[in-house]
Chain A
Amino acid sequence: MSDQTATPMPVPEAPAEGYTRREALVMSLFALAAAATVGACSAADKQAYDEFVQKHFRDLTPEELKDRLAQLEKRYSEQYGKPVTVSATPPIPGVLFGYALDLSRCIGCRRCVYGCVEENNQSRDPQTHWITVLEMDKETGVDLQRADAFYNHETVPAPGKFYMPVACQHCENPPCVKVCPVQATWKEPDGIVVIDYDWCIGCRCCISACPYGARHFNWGTPKIPANELNPNTEYLGNRPRQRGVVEKCSFCLQRTRKGLYPKCVEVCPVGARKFGNLLDPESEIRYIIENKRVLILKDELNTQPKFFYYYGL
Protein backbone atom coordinates (compact mmCIF):
# COMPACT_ATOMS: atom_id res chain seq x y z
CA MET A 1 0.00 0.00 0.00
CA SER A 2 1.62 3.25 -1.05
CA ASP A 3 1.61 6.13 1.35
CA GLN A 4 1.31 8.90 -1.24
CA THR A 5 -1.95 10.83 -1.36
CA ALA A 6 -4.12 9.49 -4.08
CA THR A 7 -7.01 10.94 -5.99
CA PRO A 8 -10.28 9.59 -4.67
CA MET A 9 -12.57 7.78 -7.05
CA PRO A 10 -15.19 10.17 -8.43
CA VAL A 11 -18.69 9.74 -7.02
CA PRO A 12 -21.89 11.09 -8.54
CA GLU A 13 -23.37 14.31 -7.17
CA ALA A 14 -25.65 13.40 -4.31
CA PRO A 15 -28.30 15.49 -2.60
CA ALA A 16 -27.26 16.91 0.74
CA GLU A 17 -30.29 15.42 2.44
CA GLY A 18 -32.79 12.73 1.62
CA TYR A 19 -32.44 10.08 -1.01
CA THR A 20 -32.07 10.14 -4.73
CA ARG A 21 -35.06 8.92 -6.69
CA ARG A 22 -33.24 5.72 -7.53
CA GLU A 23 -32.46 5.00 -3.90
CA ALA A 24 -36.03 5.66 -2.85
CA LEU A 25 -37.40 3.35 -5.53
CA VAL A 26 -35.03 0.54 -4.58
CA MET A 27 -35.88 0.84 -0.91
CA SER A 28 -39.62 0.83 -1.45
CA LEU A 29 -39.37 -2.18 -3.74
CA PHE A 30 -37.56 -4.05 -1.01
CA ALA A 31 -40.20 -3.13 1.54
CA LEU A 32 -42.96 -4.24 -0.78
CA ALA A 33 -41.29 -7.56 -1.48
CA ALA A 34 -40.80 -8.20 2.22
CA ALA A 35 -44.44 -7.43 2.97
CA ALA A 36 -45.60 -9.67 0.13
CA THR A 37 -43.46 -12.55 1.34
CA VAL A 38 -44.79 -12.35 4.87
CA GLY A 39 -48.35 -12.05 3.68
CA ALA A 40 -48.07 -15.02 1.38
CA CYS A 41 -47.03 -17.40 4.14
CA SER A 42 -49.41 -20.30 4.58
CA ALA A 43 -50.12 -22.43 7.62
CA ALA A 44 -47.51 -24.89 6.48
CA ASP A 45 -44.99 -22.12 6.31
CA LYS A 46 -46.03 -21.06 9.79
CA GLN A 47 -45.47 -24.58 11.01
CA ALA A 48 -42.11 -24.64 9.29
CA TYR A 49 -41.27 -21.32 10.92
CA ASP A 50 -42.34 -22.59 14.32
CA GLU A 51 -40.17 -25.63 13.80
CA PHE A 52 -37.29 -23.43 12.77
CA VAL A 53 -37.43 -21.27 15.90
CA GLN A 54 -38.25 -24.21 18.15
CA LYS A 55 -36.60 -23.81 21.53
CA HIS A 56 -34.36 -26.32 23.26
CA PHE A 57 -36.35 -28.86 25.27
CA ARG A 58 -34.89 -27.71 28.55
CA ASP A 59 -35.85 -24.10 27.84
CA LEU A 60 -39.51 -24.82 27.25
CA THR A 61 -41.96 -23.62 29.85
CA PRO A 62 -44.61 -26.18 30.87
CA GLU A 63 -47.21 -24.48 28.65
CA GLU A 64 -44.84 -24.40 25.70
CA LEU A 65 -44.04 -28.04 26.28
CA LYS A 66 -47.71 -28.96 26.29
CA ASP A 67 -48.24 -27.06 23.05
CA ARG A 68 -45.23 -28.67 21.54
CA LEU A 69 -46.36 -32.17 22.48
CA ALA A 70 -49.82 -31.45 21.07
CA GLN A 71 -48.24 -30.19 17.84
CA LEU A 72 -46.18 -33.34 17.54
CA GLU A 73 -49.11 -35.62 18.29
CA LYS A 74 -51.11 -33.93 15.58
CA ARG A 75 -48.26 -34.19 13.13
CA TYR A 76 -47.48 -37.84 13.80
CA SER A 77 -51.14 -38.85 13.86
CA GLU A 78 -51.65 -37.26 10.46
CA GLN A 79 -48.47 -38.73 9.09
CA TYR A 80 -49.20 -42.29 10.19
CA GLY A 81 -52.97 -42.26 10.01
CA LYS A 82 -53.50 -43.45 13.56
CA PRO A 83 -53.60 -41.76 16.97
CA VAL A 84 -50.12 -41.20 18.32
CA THR A 85 -49.38 -39.89 21.79
CA VAL A 86 -46.23 -37.99 22.69
CA SER A 87 -45.45 -37.53 26.34
CA ALA A 88 -42.61 -35.99 28.27
CA THR A 89 -42.49 -38.21 31.34
CA PRO A 90 -40.19 -36.74 33.96
CA PRO A 91 -37.59 -38.90 35.68
CA ILE A 92 -38.56 -40.65 38.89
CA PRO A 93 -36.65 -39.17 41.84
CA GLY A 94 -34.25 -41.42 43.66
CA VAL A 95 -33.67 -43.60 40.63
CA LEU A 96 -30.45 -44.24 38.73
CA PHE A 97 -30.90 -46.87 36.07
CA GLY A 98 -28.42 -49.65 35.58
CA TYR A 99 -28.30 -52.52 33.14
CA ALA A 100 -26.63 -55.90 33.30
CA LEU A 101 -26.12 -58.48 30.59
CA ASP A 102 -25.08 -62.07 31.21
CA LEU A 103 -22.46 -63.00 28.63
CA SER A 104 -22.69 -66.66 29.53
CA ARG A 105 -26.33 -66.75 28.52
CA CYS A 106 -26.69 -64.60 25.43
CA ILE A 107 -27.07 -66.82 22.41
CA GLY A 108 -26.99 -64.08 19.77
CA CYS A 109 -30.54 -64.62 18.56
CA ARG A 110 -31.02 -60.85 17.95
CA ARG A 111 -34.58 -60.81 19.30
CA CYS A 112 -33.53 -57.86 21.42
CA VAL A 113 -32.44 -55.99 18.29
CA TYR A 114 -35.75 -56.34 16.54
CA GLY A 115 -37.85 -55.96 19.69
CA CYS A 116 -36.10 -52.65 20.18
CA VAL A 117 -36.71 -51.66 16.56
CA GLU A 118 -40.44 -52.19 16.99
CA GLU A 119 -40.76 -50.60 20.42
CA ASN A 120 -38.67 -47.56 19.60
CA ASN A 121 -39.85 -46.81 16.08
CA GLN A 122 -36.55 -47.21 14.36
CA SER A 123 -36.39 -46.64 10.66
CA ARG A 124 -36.88 -49.80 8.60
CA ASP A 125 -35.52 -48.20 5.45
CA PRO A 126 -32.77 -47.01 5.73
CA GLN A 127 -32.25 -49.65 8.38
CA THR A 128 -31.39 -48.48 11.86
CA HIS A 129 -30.58 -50.81 14.74
CA TRP A 130 -29.81 -49.43 18.16
CA ILE A 131 -28.37 -52.73 19.34
CA THR A 132 -25.39 -54.39 17.67
CA VAL A 133 -24.74 -58.02 18.63
CA LEU A 134 -21.09 -58.99 18.35
CA GLU A 135 -20.00 -62.58 17.93
CA MET A 136 -16.58 -63.46 19.33
CA ASP A 137 -14.57 -66.58 20.03
CA LYS A 138 -14.67 -68.04 23.47
CA GLU A 139 -11.00 -68.90 23.05
CA THR A 140 -9.86 -65.32 22.61
CA GLY A 141 -12.52 -63.66 24.74
CA VAL A 142 -13.70 -60.09 24.49
CA ASP A 143 -11.61 -58.74 21.61
CA LEU A 144 -13.45 -56.20 19.54
CA GLN A 145 -10.94 -56.41 16.69
CA ARG A 146 -12.05 -59.99 16.13
CA ALA A 147 -15.76 -59.34 16.58
CA ASP A 148 -18.29 -59.99 13.87
CA ALA A 149 -21.63 -58.18 13.81
CA PHE A 150 -22.83 -59.80 10.61
CA TYR A 151 -22.91 -63.49 11.56
CA ASN A 152 -25.74 -65.40 9.98
CA HIS A 153 -25.67 -69.03 11.09
CA GLU A 154 -28.51 -71.49 10.79
CA THR A 155 -28.82 -71.69 14.54
CA VAL A 156 -27.21 -69.89 17.41
CA PRO A 157 -25.20 -70.21 19.55
CA ALA A 158 -22.53 -71.30 17.08
CA PRO A 159 -20.01 -73.71 18.61
CA GLY A 160 -17.11 -72.00 20.33
CA LYS A 161 -18.64 -68.51 20.05
CA PHE A 162 -20.14 -66.15 22.53
CA TYR A 163 -22.26 -63.08 21.97
CA MET A 164 -22.10 -59.55 23.25
CA PRO A 165 -24.88 -57.12 22.40
CA VAL A 166 -23.77 -53.49 22.54
CA ALA A 167 -25.95 -50.41 22.70
CA CYS A 168 -25.75 -47.10 24.52
CA GLN A 169 -23.98 -47.61 27.81
CA HIS A 170 -25.55 -44.51 29.39
CA CYS A 171 -22.24 -43.48 30.80
CA GLU A 172 -21.93 -41.41 33.93
CA ASN A 173 -19.14 -39.50 32.18
CA PRO A 174 -20.48 -39.48 28.65
CA PRO A 175 -18.06 -38.26 25.96
CA CYS A 176 -20.98 -37.63 23.59
CA VAL A 177 -22.50 -35.10 25.99
CA LYS A 178 -19.13 -33.44 26.38
CA VAL A 179 -18.59 -32.84 22.67
CA CYS A 180 -22.06 -31.86 21.49
CA PRO A 181 -21.68 -28.22 20.43
CA VAL A 182 -25.33 -27.31 21.03
CA GLN A 183 -26.19 -29.42 24.08
CA ALA A 184 -28.65 -31.44 22.09
CA THR A 185 -27.75 -34.47 24.19
CA TRP A 186 -27.46 -34.57 27.95
CA LYS A 187 -27.67 -36.85 30.93
CA GLU A 188 -30.95 -36.88 32.79
CA PRO A 189 -31.14 -37.16 36.58
CA ASP A 190 -32.08 -40.84 36.36
CA GLY A 191 -28.90 -41.48 34.40
CA ILE A 192 -30.40 -41.85 30.95
CA VAL A 193 -28.50 -39.98 28.23
CA VAL A 194 -31.15 -38.42 26.01
CA ILE A 195 -31.30 -36.48 22.75
CA ASP A 196 -33.57 -33.61 21.79
CA TYR A 197 -34.20 -34.55 18.17
CA ASP A 198 -35.54 -31.08 17.43
CA TRP A 199 -32.34 -29.42 18.56
CA CYS A 200 -29.71 -31.73 17.07
CA ILE A 201 -27.90 -30.10 14.15
CA GLY A 202 -26.56 -33.35 12.79
CA CYS A 203 -22.85 -32.53 13.07
CA ARG A 204 -22.09 -36.07 14.27
CA CYS A 205 -19.43 -35.09 16.79
CA CYS A 206 -21.16 -37.38 19.24
CA ILE A 207 -20.87 -40.35 16.91
CA SER A 208 -17.14 -39.73 16.67
CA ALA A 209 -16.84 -39.37 20.41
CA CYS A 210 -18.82 -42.45 21.44
CA PRO A 211 -16.45 -45.35 22.15
CA TYR A 212 -19.20 -47.95 21.81
CA GLY A 213 -20.70 -47.28 18.42
CA ALA A 214 -23.98 -46.64 20.16
CA ARG A 215 -25.15 -43.56 18.33
CA HIS A 216 -26.75 -43.71 14.91
CA PHE A 217 -27.45 -41.05 12.37
CA ASN A 218 -30.48 -40.65 10.14
CA TRP A 219 -28.63 -40.42 6.86
CA GLY A 220 -31.85 -40.59 4.91
CA THR A 221 -35.48 -39.95 5.76
CA PRO A 222 -36.53 -42.62 8.26
CA LYS A 223 -39.44 -44.75 7.13
CA ILE A 224 -41.68 -46.86 9.34
CA PRO A 225 -44.76 -48.66 7.99
CA ALA A 226 -47.79 -47.18 9.73
CA ASN A 227 -49.00 -50.56 10.94
CA GLU A 228 -45.68 -51.20 12.66
CA LEU A 229 -45.50 -47.87 14.44
CA ASN A 230 -45.59 -47.95 18.23
CA PRO A 231 -48.00 -45.09 18.95
CA ASN A 232 -47.05 -44.61 22.60
CA THR A 233 -44.13 -42.31 22.24
CA GLU A 234 -41.96 -40.13 24.37
CA TYR A 235 -40.48 -36.79 23.32
CA LEU A 236 -36.95 -37.72 24.37
CA GLY A 237 -37.23 -41.36 23.41
CA ASN A 238 -39.08 -43.32 20.80
CA ARG A 239 -41.06 -40.75 18.87
CA PRO A 240 -40.46 -40.91 15.12
CA ARG A 241 -37.27 -39.09 14.21
CA GLN A 242 -36.47 -36.88 11.25
CA ARG A 243 -33.76 -36.97 8.67
CA GLY A 244 -30.45 -35.50 9.72
CA VAL A 245 -30.53 -36.14 13.45
CA VAL A 246 -28.78 -38.61 15.74
CA GLU A 247 -30.59 -41.27 17.76
CA LYS A 248 -29.71 -44.07 20.15
CA CYS A 249 -30.96 -46.35 22.88
CA SER A 250 -32.87 -44.39 25.50
CA PHE A 251 -33.29 -47.22 28.05
CA CYS A 252 -36.90 -47.31 26.81
CA LEU A 253 -37.73 -44.34 28.96
CA GLN A 254 -41.31 -44.44 27.75
CA ARG A 255 -41.50 -47.75 29.64
CA THR A 256 -38.91 -47.49 32.40
CA ARG A 257 -40.14 -44.18 33.71
CA LYS A 258 -43.48 -45.91 34.19
CA GLY A 259 -41.95 -48.78 36.09
CA LEU A 260 -41.68 -51.29 33.25
CA TYR A 261 -38.64 -53.09 31.94
CA PRO A 262 -37.05 -52.01 28.67
CA LYS A 263 -38.26 -53.98 25.70
CA CYS A 264 -34.97 -55.82 25.20
CA VAL A 265 -35.09 -57.15 28.76
CA GLU A 266 -38.57 -58.51 28.25
CA VAL A 267 -37.98 -59.97 24.83
CA CYS A 268 -34.78 -61.84 25.62
CA PRO A 269 -35.74 -65.51 25.53
CA VAL A 270 -32.90 -66.70 27.74
CA GLY A 271 -33.12 -64.12 30.48
CA ALA A 272 -29.68 -62.69 29.78
CA ARG A 273 -30.71 -59.09 30.36
CA LYS A 274 -31.27 -57.40 33.68
CA PHE A 275 -32.30 -53.88 34.55
CA GLY A 276 -33.12 -51.88 37.61
CA ASN A 277 -32.47 -49.04 39.96
CA LEU A 278 -28.88 -48.87 41.09
CA LEU A 279 -29.95 -46.92 44.15
CA ASP A 280 -32.28 -49.66 45.36
CA PRO A 281 -30.29 -52.11 47.50
CA GLU A 282 -32.90 -54.83 46.90
CA SER A 283 -32.77 -54.66 43.12
CA GLU A 284 -31.36 -57.47 41.02
CA ILE A 285 -28.99 -55.05 39.36
CA ARG A 286 -27.38 -54.30 42.71
CA TYR A 287 -27.26 -57.99 43.51
CA ILE A 288 -25.42 -58.62 40.27
CA ILE A 289 -22.89 -55.85 40.77
CA GLU A 290 -22.22 -56.94 44.31
CA ASN A 291 -21.99 -60.67 43.69
CA LYS A 292 -21.04 -61.39 40.12
CA ARG A 293 -17.91 -60.95 38.05
CA VAL A 294 -18.83 -57.73 36.33
CA LEU A 295 -16.95 -56.04 33.54
CA ILE A 296 -17.47 -52.86 31.54
CA LEU A 297 -16.29 -52.16 28.04
CA LYS A 298 -13.26 -49.95 27.49
CA ASP A 299 -13.00 -49.08 31.13
CA GLU A 300 -9.67 -47.32 30.56
CA LEU A 301 -11.61 -44.53 28.87
CA ASN A 302 -13.24 -43.61 32.18
CA THR A 303 -16.68 -43.22 30.66
CA GLN A 304 -18.21 -45.06 33.66
CA PRO A 305 -20.93 -46.91 31.80
CA LYS A 306 -24.03 -48.07 33.59
CA PHE A 307 -24.15 -51.14 31.39
CA PHE A 308 -22.46 -54.06 33.11
CA TYR A 309 -21.55 -57.30 31.45
CA TYR A 310 -21.13 -60.30 33.71
CA TYR A 311 -20.74 -64.03 33.72
CA GLY A 312 -23.66 -65.71 35.43
CA LEU A 313 -22.51 -69.25 34.82
Chain B
Amino acid sequence: MALLLTAACRPVQEAGPRYERGAAIAETGVAGGEKSAAGGEQKVASGEQATRALFAVAPPPFTDGIFPCSQCHSPTDKVDRTPRPVEFHAEIVLHHDEKNRWCLDCHDARYRDKLHLADGRLIDFTESYRLCGQCHGPTLRNWKNGEHGKRTGSWSGVKQYLLCPSCHSPHSPHFKPLKPKAPPLRQEAIR
Protein backbone atom coordinates (compact mmCIF):
# COMPACT_ATOMS: atom_id res chain seq x y z
CA MET B 1 0.00 0.00 0.00
CA ALA B 2 1.66 3.15 -1.15
CA LEU B 3 1.59 5.76 1.51
CA LEU B 4 1.68 9.26 0.22
CA LEU B 5 3.26 11.18 3.02
CA THR B 6 3.64 14.82 3.57
CA ALA B 7 6.14 15.15 6.33
CA ALA B 8 5.87 17.80 9.00
CA CYS B 9 9.40 19.09 8.68
CA ARG B 10 10.09 22.03 6.50
CA PRO B 11 8.67 23.01 3.17
CA VAL B 12 11.10 21.83 0.58
CA GLN B 13 11.74 23.79 -2.55
CA GLU B 14 10.00 21.16 -4.60
CA ALA B 15 9.47 23.59 -7.46
CA GLY B 16 13.04 24.35 -8.42
CA PRO B 17 15.57 21.67 -9.37
CA ARG B 18 17.87 20.77 -6.57
CA TYR B 19 20.95 21.69 -8.59
CA GLU B 20 20.03 25.31 -8.76
CA ARG B 21 20.16 25.60 -5.01
CA GLY B 22 23.57 24.04 -4.97
CA ALA B 23 24.67 26.29 -7.80
CA ALA B 24 23.26 29.32 -6.05
CA ILE B 25 25.13 28.51 -2.91
CA ALA B 26 28.34 28.18 -4.85
CA GLU B 27 27.94 31.37 -6.78
CA THR B 28 27.14 33.53 -3.81
CA GLY B 29 29.55 31.72 -1.52
CA VAL B 30 28.58 29.49 1.29
CA ALA B 31 26.12 31.37 3.46
CA GLY B 32 27.79 31.79 6.79
CA GLY B 33 30.57 29.41 5.93
CA GLU B 34 32.76 32.21 4.65
CA LYS B 35 32.77 33.82 8.02
CA SER B 36 34.15 30.66 9.51
CA ALA B 37 36.93 30.25 7.01
CA ALA B 38 39.68 30.99 9.49
CA GLY B 39 41.06 27.71 10.84
CA GLY B 40 40.33 25.91 14.07
CA GLU B 41 36.96 24.85 15.39
CA GLN B 42 34.18 26.34 13.36
CA LYS B 43 31.29 28.20 14.79
CA VAL B 44 28.22 27.35 12.81
CA ALA B 45 26.29 30.52 12.16
CA SER B 46 22.68 29.50 12.05
CA GLY B 47 19.48 30.63 13.54
CA GLU B 48 19.53 28.44 16.59
CA GLN B 49 22.11 28.15 19.28
CA ALA B 50 25.71 27.70 18.10
CA THR B 51 26.78 24.10 18.42
CA ARG B 52 30.22 22.62 18.30
CA ALA B 53 30.03 20.64 15.08
CA LEU B 54 32.43 17.94 14.05
CA PHE B 55 32.66 19.56 10.64
CA ALA B 56 32.44 23.16 9.62
CA VAL B 57 29.16 23.02 7.83
CA ALA B 58 26.98 25.53 6.16
CA PRO B 59 23.79 26.15 8.09
CA PRO B 60 20.83 23.89 7.34
CA PRO B 61 18.82 25.31 4.48
CA PHE B 62 15.58 25.92 6.34
CA THR B 63 12.71 27.67 4.74
CA ASP B 64 11.99 30.99 6.43
CA GLY B 65 9.93 30.69 9.53
CA ILE B 66 9.67 26.91 9.63
CA PHE B 67 12.24 26.46 12.36
CA PRO B 68 12.12 26.01 15.32
CA CYS B 69 9.47 23.34 14.97
CA SER B 70 8.71 23.69 18.67
CA GLN B 71 6.80 26.83 17.76
CA CYS B 72 3.92 24.50 16.94
CA HIS B 73 5.01 21.10 18.27
CA SER B 74 5.33 20.63 22.01
CA PRO B 75 7.12 17.59 23.53
CA THR B 76 4.04 16.78 25.49
CA ASP B 77 1.73 16.58 22.44
CA LYS B 78 0.02 13.27 21.82
CA VAL B 79 1.69 11.55 18.86
CA ASP B 80 0.04 9.14 16.49
CA ARG B 81 2.87 6.97 15.17
CA THR B 82 0.86 5.44 12.33
CA PRO B 83 2.40 6.21 8.98
CA ARG B 84 -0.22 8.21 7.10
CA PRO B 85 -0.66 11.34 5.01
CA VAL B 86 -0.80 14.41 7.22
CA GLU B 87 -2.67 17.62 6.61
CA PHE B 88 -0.07 20.26 7.38
CA HIS B 89 3.22 20.35 5.48
CA ALA B 90 1.15 19.03 2.59
CA GLU B 91 3.50 20.46 -0.01
CA ILE B 92 6.22 17.98 0.98
CA VAL B 93 6.09 14.82 -1.10
CA LEU B 94 8.18 12.03 0.29
CA HIS B 95 10.05 10.29 -2.46
CA HIS B 96 12.81 8.68 -0.46
CA ASP B 97 12.26 5.02 0.28
CA GLU B 98 8.63 6.00 1.03
CA LYS B 99 7.55 2.35 0.91
CA ASN B 100 9.49 1.63 4.06
CA ARG B 101 9.63 4.92 5.93
CA TRP B 102 7.81 8.03 6.86
CA CYS B 103 8.41 11.32 8.68
CA LEU B 104 8.98 10.05 12.16
CA ASP B 105 11.69 7.66 11.07
CA CYS B 106 13.98 10.67 10.90
CA HIS B 107 12.20 13.42 12.77
CA ASP B 108 11.89 12.87 16.46
CA ALA B 109 8.28 12.59 17.55
CA ARG B 110 8.64 14.42 20.86
CA TYR B 111 11.46 16.90 20.28
CA ARG B 112 10.56 18.19 16.84
CA ASP B 113 13.61 20.48 16.80
CA LYS B 114 15.77 17.40 16.56
CA LEU B 115 16.29 14.42 14.34
CA HIS B 116 16.91 10.96 15.74
CA LEU B 117 19.25 8.14 14.79
CA ALA B 118 18.10 4.54 14.47
CA ASP B 119 18.82 3.79 18.09
CA GLY B 120 16.85 6.80 19.25
CA ARG B 121 19.71 9.22 20.00
CA LEU B 122 18.81 12.80 19.23
CA ILE B 123 20.90 14.93 16.89
CA ASP B 124 20.69 18.51 15.72
CA PHE B 125 19.82 19.50 12.20
CA THR B 126 23.38 20.75 11.93
CA GLU B 127 24.54 17.15 12.21
CA SER B 128 22.02 15.64 9.86
CA TYR B 129 24.83 13.93 7.96
CA ARG B 130 25.07 11.43 10.80
CA LEU B 131 21.51 10.40 10.11
CA CYS B 132 21.92 10.24 6.34
CA GLY B 133 25.11 8.27 6.86
CA GLN B 134 23.30 5.50 8.63
CA CYS B 135 21.95 4.28 5.31
CA HIS B 136 24.40 6.01 3.04
CA GLY B 137 27.58 4.87 4.76
CA PRO B 138 30.04 5.01 1.86
CA THR B 139 28.68 8.40 0.88
CA LEU B 140 29.24 9.70 4.40
CA ARG B 141 32.78 8.39 4.36
CA ASN B 142 33.43 10.09 1.01
CA TRP B 143 31.80 13.27 2.25
CA LYS B 144 34.07 13.39 5.30
CA ASN B 145 37.11 12.92 3.07
CA GLY B 146 36.01 15.73 0.80
CA GLU B 147 35.25 13.54 -2.19
CA HIS B 148 31.50 13.74 -2.05
CA GLY B 149 29.72 16.96 -2.70
CA LYS B 150 30.49 20.37 -3.99
CA ARG B 151 33.68 21.89 -2.76
CA THR B 152 33.82 25.53 -1.90
CA GLY B 153 36.26 27.59 0.09
CA SER B 154 39.88 26.56 0.14
CA TRP B 155 41.70 23.50 -1.06
CA SER B 156 44.18 24.00 1.72
CA GLY B 157 43.50 24.22 5.40
CA VAL B 158 40.18 23.52 7.01
CA LYS B 159 37.51 22.18 4.71
CA GLN B 160 34.16 23.85 4.31
CA TYR B 161 31.32 21.41 4.09
CA LEU B 162 27.80 21.68 2.89
CA LEU B 163 25.12 19.71 4.72
CA CYS B 164 23.45 16.97 2.76
CA PRO B 165 20.16 18.87 2.48
CA SER B 166 22.02 21.85 0.97
CA CYS B 167 22.06 19.95 -2.30
CA HIS B 168 19.76 16.96 -1.79
CA SER B 169 16.26 17.49 -0.58
CA PRO B 170 15.91 14.86 2.16
CA HIS B 171 12.35 14.23 1.08
CA SER B 172 12.97 13.93 -2.66
CA PRO B 173 16.70 13.63 -3.08
CA HIS B 174 16.90 12.61 -6.74
CA PHE B 175 18.45 15.39 -8.80
CA LYS B 176 16.23 16.80 -11.47
CA PRO B 177 17.65 17.22 -14.97
CA LEU B 178 18.88 20.67 -15.88
CA LYS B 179 18.73 22.63 -19.07
CA PRO B 180 22.28 22.66 -20.40
CA LYS B 181 23.97 25.91 -21.31
CA ALA B 182 24.50 26.61 -24.97
CA PRO B 183 26.76 24.30 -26.97
CA PRO B 184 29.94 25.79 -28.39
CA LEU B 185 29.70 27.38 -31.81
CA ARG B 186 30.66 25.16 -34.69
CA GLN B 187 34.06 26.23 -35.87
CA GLU B 188 32.69 26.94 -39.33
CA ALA B 189 30.49 29.57 -37.71
CA ILE B 190 33.38 31.43 -36.09
CA ARG B 191 34.11 34.32 -38.40
User: How distant is B147 from chain A, measured CB to nearest CB, in Å?
Assistant: 5
Q: Considering the chains assembled together, what is the distance between the CA atoms of A111 and B155 in angstroms?
A: 20
Residues of A within 8 A of B146 (CB): 274, 276, 283-284, 287
**Interface residue? A309 (CB, 8 A):** no
User: How distant is A96 from chain B, measured CB to nearest CB, in Å?
Assistant: 12
**Interface residue? A64 (CB, 8 A):** no
Cross-chain contact B180 with A270 (CB below 8 angstroms): no
Indicate with 1 or 0, residue by residue over A283-313, a CB within 8 angstroms of chain B CB atoms. Answer: 1100110011000000000000000000010
User: How distant is A151 from chain B, measured CB to nearest CB, in Å?
Assistant: 6
Q: Considering the chains assembled together, what is the distance between the CA atoms of A289 and B159 in angstroms?
A: 18
Cross-chain contact B181 with A113 (CB below 8 angstroms): yes
Cross-chain contact A152 with B179 (CB below 8 angstroms): no
The interface size bin for chain B is 35 or more
Q: Considering the chains assembled together, what is the distance between the CA atoms of A111 and B26 in angstroms?
A: 12
Cross-chain contact B147 with A150 (CB below 8 angstroms): no
Cross-chain contact A267 with B26 (CB below 8 angstroms): yes
Please indicate which of the listed interface residues A111, A219, A266, A312 has the most CB atoms of chain B within 10 Å of its own CB: A266
Query: Assuming the A-B contacts A127-B190, A269-B22, A288-B147, are A256 and B177 also in contact, with contact meaning beta carbons closer than 8 angstroms in the complex?
Result: no
Query: Assuming the A-B contacts A149-B183, A277-B156, are A156 and B177 also in contact, with contact meaning beta carbons closer than 8 angstroms in the complex?
Result: yes
Quick one: closest A residue to B155, CB to CB? Answer: A276
B123-168 CB contacts (< 8 Å) to partner A? 142, 145-157, 159, 167
Cross-chain contact A154 with B179 (CB below 8 angstroms): yes
B163-191 CB contacts (< 8 Å) to partner A? 167, 175, 177-186, 190-191
Cross-chain contact B180 with A152 (CB below 8 angstroms): yes
Query: Assuming the A-B contacts A271-B22, A271-B148, are A260 and B178 also in contact, with contact meaning beta carbons closer than 8 angstroms in the complex?
Result: no
Cross-chain contact B145 with A109 (CB below 8 angstroms): no
Which 7 A-B pairs rank lowest in CB-CB distance, beginning with the nearest?
A284-B146, A155-B177, A271-B150, A269-B19, A110-B181, A269-B23, A287-B145
Known contacts A270-B175, A284-B146, then 19 further A-B pairs from the complex at CB < 8 Å, ordered by chain A residue: A95-B156, A110-B181, A111-B23, A154-B179, A155-B177, A155-B179, A156-B178, A156-B180, A157-B177, A219-B190, A261-B151, A261-B154, A265-B151, A267-B23, A269-B150, A276-B155, A276-B156, A277-B155, A287-B145
